[in-house]
Chain A
């Protein structure tokens, strides 16, 4: 980053001094071969790959480097290094083949390519995000199935409830006594062979969920860091020229789409040109007050709607609980009544965003960017507060109610929410895109084809993922259900997109959007889920008569008991030591967070320093180029 202003100077003035340049170029290749030869194999391959040269040239360099290396190693006469090199080569080959097999597993490579070709990178990013979530759910399903469900099958109890078919929608009835829910899992230690190795279900349950969340945390953190580091450059200054120079989307290969993209770019350039020519509008005091008042009113209205929606959900859910408490009836009426809550929640989630976007249109934002961000913020507030109020209901009311197995009740609630949300997602693409196209092409011609609403669709995905994360503790197989749902959503959305939609007219800053989506997935969603799970594990009392933690004061007590047992074995003293000194000690976490804060502060300072440095160098280049021009003028005059 710091080097390139210097490079600018170098590149410019080496043209002026061609002899120097020639000599330098001659030396450069020798230097290059020398430095490449001293690198490790992996680094060398990467360095050669990065050269902007033709294949023939690269091969030439590579052969020279290899010759140099063999010369050197002959001098040393070391057999051992060759041996090691051979091992390294074969190890690398092995790595390559392994990565190729993973490569072949790339799902939907072709589908994604077609979407990119017709709709560009911005719509593609939605599908990439969907695929990412799908992979996450597959992973979590495999973990839960492998470590929790399969052992449970070995200790299975018979299921004596009847299956009518309606349970698929309500998740109640027959499913209550299946591996789908927390309540069915045993608290016993499973061992098939007498005196053989045994499997402690309590520990398996808590560790599987715990480790899964830790892995999720790390994955999210790393992908956020990746996206942020890519974006950090763009946020230092906003350069408009880069938008034009990098604006062409080479992914788009469909002829019609290319024509359309050209047309869009043309209108955008024209618009921005006329905008520059326009006088910058100065708002009078009255206008400004009016604008602020509209924004305030809109915020009040949207927050009020969110609060009203939450209240409705809260009272409905309390009503719902009474229904459960009456007992497990299997008649049609009570099953239909169970579905009222999830349907209402999904309806609120689908309809209120339309109200928000209408509000946004009324507000007349100055830039479309503001409009998008404000709408996304409001939708996030709405969705997260609905989820929040549901969590409050589950943890404070269901958990303290006198039901037999409150964890299973919560699991069922989440199951229904996930399922109904999935159905609404399918209906959304039918009504939102299919009918909209029919109306736009036959009834109301000036509406035209609909555009794919990336923001709304991504928020729906984040909401669905949040529900799944909350549900993992209460219903370990929920990721499997969400996995199937995402799989179907992928195809339905793809078909709907291909049939109904047109490519977006605005150039979206894709990378930035992706960063904010991952950030949203992390910040309200994942952190919220972590706190809900934390409260459940540490504070709440598990049901007395069901589930792996029956009879304990809290789920975490299982770990405490295990540590107590471990203390009597000398071989596992280190586990006890780690537990006492690191995991359950406040001091350790205090020190850890202090170190983290210090490191963050240091990095922040370094970034600030670099910014000022770049600015200084930039000024210097301007000065130097002026000085050079002066000097050349003088020389020219003297000659």
Chain B
């Protein structure tokens, strides 16, 4: 701890503490992990260096995450659009995924992560991609297009009554109609506030939307 503490100036450290949800220890650990991603000669000034996306994704915390590309994209401030991350971007990311971040800010960023085409709304394409990420990208694990349609839009085979909700136990019953339930203003897409509204009712969200170094 003592070794790395001297690398971040005291003022900067307290500033980071004020601007993020992280504690001093977490920031120092983040610094250590971040500088390990850099080549040896750049480690001296890790605060100003940028780590390319390919390096960021070697972190064990992100390596297997199906949303890894989106996470990099959302938190990167790189102007060239290569999704590389500076130390501050890295801290921003850890802050949102930390234990003490509020549910509001977590859901805000979750929305941006799930918004694959960055147009500010979750439309059907985003939802399809989201479901694909959840079920895995392999050929055999993807849902058929009819199933996808049903899952997202609530199109049911003829002869079915509308609104027969499936069992609402704590269990395996996943939603067969994302849009019907979360699209409050019925415009066919989910916007940020609708998303936050839905997420706020899931008590598990804050505990599962978490990455700790």
Contacts and interface: CB of A to CB of B under 8 A. Distances in A.
Interface of A: 4-5, 7-9, 11-12, 45, 48-52, 54-56, 58-59, 62, 93, 96, 99-100, 103-104, 113, 121, 230-231, 233-234, 236-255, 257-259, 262-263, 265-266, 268-273, 275-277, 280, 366-370, 372, 506-513, 618, 621-622, 625
A11 B193 contact: yes
Contact of A4 (B25, B77, B197): B197
B124 to A, nearest CB: 14
Nearest to A13: B185
Contacts of A269: 131, 134-135, 143, 147, 151, 174
Interface residues on B, range: 35 or more
Contact of B185 (A96, A252, A622): A622
A255 B209 contact: no
B101 to A, nearest CB: 8
A275 B151 CA distance: 12
Interface string B184-210: 111100011111111111111111111
A266 B178 contact: no
Interface in B116-172: 130-131, 133-136, 141, 143, 147, 150-151, 156-157, 160, 164-172
B27 to A, nearest CB: 11
A258 B66 contact: yes
A292 B131 CA distance: 39
A241 B181 contact: yes
Contact of A55 (B88, B109, B114, B210): B88
B69 to A, nearest CB: 14
B106 to A, nearest CB: 10
A230 B109 CA distance: 20
A509 B174 CA distance: 12
B11 interface: no
Contacts of A7: 193
Given A276-B164, A625-B187, 19 more contacts: A8-B197, A11-B193, A48-B19, A50-B102, A55-B88, A55-B92, A96-B17, A96-B23, A231-B203, A238-B168, A240-B175, A242-B201, A244-B131, A244-B174, A245-B182, A248-B208, A270-B147, A367-B171, A368-B171
Nearest to B205: A246
Contact of A239 (B191, B192, B198): B198
B33 interface: no
A9 B131 CA distance: 28
B134 A262 contact: yes
A258 B151 contact: no
Contacts of B160: 276-277
A271 B89 CA distance: 40
Given A54-B77, A266-B141, A233 B170 contact: no
A387 B38 CA distance: 60
B18 interface: yes
Contact of A625 (B186, B198, B209): B186
Indicate the member of B18, B97, B157 with the most A CB atoms within 10 Å.
Answer: B18
Given A55-B92, A250-B65, A258-B66, A509 B198 contact: no
Contacts of B198: 239, 241-242, 245
A277 B161 CA distance: 10
A122 to B, nearest CB: 9
B173 interface: yes
Contact of A12 (B135, B168, B191): B191
Contact of A245 (B109, B180, B186, B199): B199
A530 B145 CA distance: 59
B197 to A, nearest CB: 6
Contacts, number: 262
A623 to B, nearest CB: 10
Contacts of B150: 273, 276
A244 B178 contact: yes
Given A62-B18, A248-B67, A258-B65, A239 B169 contact: no
A8 B191 CA distance: 8
Given A269-B135, A269-B151, A250 B105 contact: no
Contacts of A248: 66-67, 133-134, 208
Given A113-B212, A275-B173, A50 B105 contact: yes
Interface in B49-82: 60-67, 77
A364 to B, nearest CB: 14
Contacts of B166: 240, 272, 275-276
A121 B207 CA distance: 7
A301 B45 CA distance: 71
22 contacts: A8-B191, A8-B197, A48-B18, A54-B88, A55-B19, A55-B91, A59-B15, A100-B24, A234-B202, A239-B198, A240-B168, A241-B181, A245-B198, A246-B110, A248-B208, A250-B209, A269-B174, A276-B176, A367-B168, A367-B169, A368-B172, A621-B185
B182 A241 contact: yes
Indicate the member of B17, B114, B198 with the most A CB atoms within 10 Å.
Answer: B198
Contact of A369 (B157, B170, B175, B178): B170
Contacts of B34: none
A510 B204 contact: yes
A618 B143 CA distance: 33
Given A240-B174, A258-B64, A272-B176, A5 B184 contact: yes
Nearest to B20: A49
A262 B193 contact: no
Contacts of B203: 230-231, 233-234, 509, 511-512
B104 interface: yes
B108 interface: yes
A12 B187 contact: yes
A259 B151 CA distance: 21
B172 A262 contact: no
B25 A100 contact: yes
Given A272-B166, A621-B185, A121 B204 contact: yes
A372 to B, nearest CB: 7
B116 to A, nearest CB: 14
B93 to A, nearest CB: 10
Contacts of B205: 242, 246
A625 B184 CA distance: 10
B199 A8 contact: no
Contacts of A280: 164
**Minimum-distance CB pairs A-B, first 7:** A369-B169, A240-B175, A367-B169, A511-B203, A262-B136, A266-B135, A55-B88
A290 to B, nearest CB: 21
Nearest to B199: A246
A259 B136 contact: yes
Given A52-B109, A241-B178, A266-B141, A255 B171 contact: no
A514 B157 CA distance: 39
A96 B170 contact: no
A626 B104 CA distance: 28
A240 B15 contact: no
B65 A55 contact: no
A7 to B, nearest CB: 5
Contacts of B212: 113, 251
Contacts of B151: 244, 269, 273
B193 A265 contact: no
